[in-house]
Amino acid sequence: MNIMAFSQTDKSSLIELQAVMKIYGSGQAAMQALRGIDLRIDEGEFVAVMGPSGSGKSTCMNILGCLDTLTSGSYRFKGIEVNKLIRNQRTKLRRFYLGFVFQGFNLLSRTSALENVELPLIYRGVPAQKRRLQALRALETVGLKGWESHAPNELSGGQQQRVAIARAIVTRPAVLFADEPTGNLDTVRSHEIMNLLIRLNCDQGVTIVMVTHEQEMAAYTQRIIHFLDGRVVSDEPNRRQT
Amino acid sequence: MLWSTMLLAFREIRRNVMRSVLTILGIVIGVAAVIIMVTIGGGATVQVKQQIVDMGSNLLMVTPGKRLGPGQSTDSIPFKEADARAIARDVSSVIAVAPVSSQSIKAIFGNQNWSTQVTGTDNQYLQVTNRSIRSGRKFTDNELRSGAAVCIVGGTVINKLFGGQDAIGEKIRLQKLSCEVIGILRGKGQNTMGTDQDDIVIVPLSTYLRRIAGNQDVGVIQISIQDGIATEKVQKDIVRLLRERRHLSLSDDDNFNVMDMKEIAQMLTGTTQMLTALLSAVAAVSLLVGGIGIMNIMLVSVTERTREIGIRLAIGALENEVLMQFLVEAVVLSSFGGLIGIIMALTSSVWLARVLRVPFVFNTSIVFIAFLFSAAVGVIFGYFPALKAARLDPIEALRHE
Ligand SMILES: Nc1ncnc2c1ncn2[C@@H]1O[C@H](COP(=O)(O)OP(=O)(O)OP(=O)(O)O)[C@@H](O)[C@H]1O
Ligand SMILES: [Mg+2]
């Protein structure tokens, strides 16, 4: 199956989850992280995912981000059944269409911020000079101008988080998955990042799914989904959108 | 892409210099050992071959005694000078025949003395052994017949007794015999067995028998035969003649032995080559051990860098790209080890060749093969760890502490 040739027939539903279950482990130690998720996210949406710790938000994000496989149910991305793709095809999906901000940053240690941000561009085959330029621009966007040569262990938690965001947006992905992108930032920085995400969403039409614990940040989005115990308990448009 | 992967590998290797050095040590030693073995062994073979050429045309050596094995024989009735004459007269295709008797005697000049091989023979000896006179002259027929007190001396004796000075006309003392130096031999160096062929004093056979040995026994008869003649035929003729002269009946075994020196030398070449091959094979095993060392370290490295691999996979690296990254790292490591091994081997071979007095023979193909082999070791032993890295599950890898 050619990844690049997506069916354009069903434009409205970019992401479609149907009765998705995820079970970690097996037998006695089995842990049911997702217990039947039904979800549709359209192109251009900006969605917040909320819920208590352990409710399955990250698990769901990993599945949406094509990083993890589901145990049962169906996940369609642009009409393609992701579960039927082989590993390399899912990797190519990630490489060309998805951006991911991990909850734990997941930056390469002992590697400069600039090189961390360049990494996804390397795998996209962007030539070195262009790569550097784009990475510098992305770092500037998240307010890390002048920190390019610092390795993660020389950066604060908030700075690391912003490097992770820069890495996710440097490729201008079609969809951005952000697992608590403001979790380690102060209020001012958090609002800056939210404004940045809003700009990406409005100006470049990037679809964004963001996990957050903070009502204040969720308020920026158009739609808020609540998770509880591996289920979606509420899914409503955001009325108080700023 | 390959270039950036190489750069990545170099950076990773530099990050852990000490470990990288220890990792490649096995390869360095393996490659160096193989090359040294092949180079020195090749030098020894060349030397043996050169000595066979130096030995001159086909040389037969007739010794008294029954042959037990190579170089071993029982004592038995020695030859007489007349036996040599008979061979020269009656056997066809013979160029020169030299009756030889020798023993180790202390030669004295002034207050210098030197224990050397004193050999009684005639001028044909020079022809048979493919030697020539550097200065002075050979024996005259008169000197040979009358048993004159004259001698031809090898370079080593000249160095030891005369300090390398021209010694023609000087008199050296051999036991009770005081004899005049009339000629100096052109240098020949060591023979196949490693003995110095220039450590020699030649006197006329009659002089030797009468004034030194005190008997008429000829120890060895050396014979050179024409090129392109079947040695076996000449050997048979000599055996028939000598059996007759020594009055052996049909049921008696030979009580002498006709050896083809070329055969012995060729056997020695074979032995040298086989030894070289054997030692190289042993050395090659250490290459294998070096490969296992690389595999071990690469496996550790993969475990250590699980998170990094997870990040790369999550961000869009294909399995193949991760595989290549680790494979290139292993190959860069091992071929770097190979390179160092080659440099070490060549420098130490030059030195070793000098110490062991064998020619230094630069063998391009073994250097090339050793390098390719070390790179191949990287591919073979790096593949499994690299595959392990590539097959990691990104989510699992990211959760790895
Ligand atoms: N690899 C795994 N193996 C076993 N259990 C897992 C694994 N990953 C997640 N879980 C379990 O699945 C449940 C959901 O985890 P998840 O990380 O999705 O929660 P979350 O909503 O993201 O929580 P938080 O807000 O703390 O990040 C948790 O109970 C967790 O223990
Ligand atoms: Mg989480």
Task: Kindly report the average pLDDT of chain A as a whole number.
Answer: 90
Which range, of A3-7, A81-85, B294-298, B345-349, averages the lowest pLDDT?
A: A3-7
ipTM of the complex as predicted: 0.91
Which ligand lies nearest to the CA atom of residue A56 in the structure? 1
Residue B274: predicted pLDDT: 87
SS3 of residue B211 by DSSP: helix
Residue A209 forms beta bridges with which residues?
A: A47, A177
Residue A8: predicted pLDDT: 46
Q: Is the predicted pLDDT of residue B51 greater than 80, yes or no?
A: no
Hunting for tokens 């006197």 — which residue is that? Answer: B203
Higher pLDDT, B250 or A71: A71
Choosing from A20, A34, A49, A57 the residue with most ligand 1 atoms within 8 A of its CB, the one to mutate for a pocket test is: A57
Residues A120, A169: contact at Cβ < 8 Å? no
Average of per-residue pLDDT across A197-210: 93
* pLDDT tier, A219 (very low <50, low <70, confident <90, very high otherwise): very high
Determine whether the interchain pair B316/A87 forms a contact, defined as Cβ–Cβ distance below 8 Å. no
| d(CA A185, ligand 2 centre) in Å | 16
Asked if the C-beta of B394 comes within 8 angstroms of chain A's C-beta atoms, the answer is yes
Q: By C-alpha distance, which of A209, A215, A204 is closest to A17?
A: A209
Determine whether the interchain pair A100/B318 forms a contact, defined as Cβ–Cβ distance below 8 Å. no
SS3 of residue A50 by DSSP: strand
Average of per-residue pLDDT across A74-95: 93
Determine whether the interchain pair A119/B313 forms a contact, defined as Cβ–Cβ distance below 8 Å. no
Residue A239: predicted pLDDT: 74
Ligand 1 pocket, residue A103 CB under 6 Å: yes
Kindly give, in sequence order, each residue whose CB lies less than 8 Å from that of residue A60, ignoring residues fewer than 6 positions away.
Answer: A17, A20, A22, A34, A37, A49, A227
Nearest CA to ligand 1 atom 31: A54
Separation in Å, CA of B315 to nearest CA in chain A: 6
Please state the φ and ψ torsions of residue A14, each to the nearest 5 degrees: -75, -45
* pLDDT tier, A104 (very low <50, low <70, confident <90, very high otherwise): confident
Q: Is the predicted pLDDT of residue B186 greater than 60, yes or no?
A: yes
How many contacts (CB atoms, under 8 Å) link A and B?
Answer: 53
Residues B161, B204: contact at Cβ < 8 Å? no
The model's pLDDT over A150-187, given as tens digits with 9 standing for 90+, comes to 999 999 888 999 999 999 999 999 999 999 998 888 89
Higher pLDDT, B282 or A5: B282
Ligand 1 pocket, residue A71 CB under 6 Å: no
Residue B260 forms beta bridges with which residues?
A: B60
Torsion of CA B388, B394, B395, B398, to 10 degrees: 80
Asked if the C-beta of B321 comes within 8 angstroms of chain A's C-beta atoms, the answer is yes
Q: How far apart are CA A72 and CA B104, in angstroms?
A: 98
Burial of B385 (0-12, 13-18, 19+ CB in 10 A): buried
Q: Is the predicted pLDDT of residue B2 greater than 80, yes or no?
A: no
The model's pLDDT over B223-244, given as tens digits with 9 standing for 90+, comes to 988 887 788 888 899 999 999 8
In Å, what is the CA distance from B362 to each residue of A123, B42, B352, B374?
45, 9, 13, 19
Percentage of residues of chain A with pLDDT beyond 70: 94
Higher pLDDT, A3 or B180: B180
Q: Is the predicted pLDDT of residue A11 greater than 60, yes or no?
A: no
- Token pair of A103 as six digits: 């909850």
Ligand 1 pocket, residue A36 CB under 6 Å: no
Asked if the C-beta of B2 comes within 8 angstroms of chain A's C-beta atoms, the answer is no
Average of per-residue pLDDT across A131-137: 95
Ligand 1 pocket, residue A31 CB under 6 Å: yes
Residue A7: predicted pLDDT: 47
Chain B 301-320, residues with CB within 8 Å of chain A CB atoms: 307-308, 310-320
Q: Which chain A residues are within 8 Å of B316, Cβ to Cβ?
A: 91-92, 94-96, 120, 123-124
Separation in Å, CA of A44 to nearest CA in chain B: 22
Q: By C-alpha distance, which of B97, B132, B128 is closest to B218?
A: B97
SS3 of residue B26 by DSSP: helix
The model's pLDDT over B10-35, given as tens digits with 9 standing for 90+, comes to 888 888 888 889 888 988 998 999 89
SS3 of residue B24 by DSSP: helix
Q: Is the predicted pLDDT of residue B40 greater than 50, yes or no?
A: yes
| d(CA A180, ligand 1 centre) in Å | 14
Ligand 1 pocket, residue A25 CB under 6 Å: yes
- DSSP assignment of A175-208, as one string? EEEEESTTTTS-HHHHHHHHHHHHHHHHHS--EE
Q: How far apart are CA A36 and CA A73, in angstroms?
A: 8
Q: How far apart are CA B249 and CA A238, in angstroms?
A: 127
Which range, of B57-61, B343-347, B365-369, averages the lowest pLDDT?
A: B57-61
Residue B388: predicted pLDDT: 92
SS3 of residue A241 by DSSP: coil
Determine whether the interchain pair B316/A123 forms a contact, defined as Cβ–Cβ distance below 8 Å. yes
Per-residue burial over B178-205, b = 16 or more CB atoms within 10 Å of its CB, e = otherwise: ebebbbbbeebeeebeeebbbbbbbbbb
Residue B366: predicted pLDDT: 86
Any idea what DSSP says for residue A35?
E
Higher pLDDT, A10 or B156: B156
Which range, of A75-79, B72-76, B151-155, B309-313, averages the lowest pLDDT?
A: B72-76
The model's pLDDT over B104-157, given as tens digits with 9 standing for 90+, comes to 999 999 888 899 999 999 999 998 888 889 989 999 999 999 989 999 999 899
Q: By C-alpha distance, which of B388, B384, B389 is closest to B292?
A: B384
SS3 of residue A235 by DSSP: strand
The model's pLDDT over B298-316, given as tens digits with 9 standing for 90+, comes to 899 899 999 999 999 999 9
Domain boundaries along the sequence of chain A: 44-70+92-237
CATH of domain A44-70+92-237: 3.40.50.300
Task: Kindly report the average pLDDT of chain B as a whole number.
Answer: 87
The model's pLDDT over A15-37, given as tens digits with 9 standing for 90+, comes to 999 999 999 988 888 999 999 99
Separation in Å, CA of B14 to nearest CA in chain A: 13
Q: Is the predicted pLDDT of residue A45 greater than 90, yes or no?
A: yes
B136: enclosing H helix or E strand? strand B133-136
Helix pair angle (B306-315, A87-97), 10° resolution? 70
CA B280 to the chain's CA centroid: 15
Q: How far apart are CA B27 and CA B4, in angstroms?
A: 25
Any idea what DSSP says for residue B213?
I
Hunting for tokens 């475990």 — which residue is that? Answer: B303
Total H helices, total E strands in chain B? 13, 12
Taking the CA atoms of chain B, what radius of gyration do you get in angstroms? 33
Higher pLDDT, A110 or A74: A74
Helix pair angle (A113-124, A157-169), 10° resolution? 20
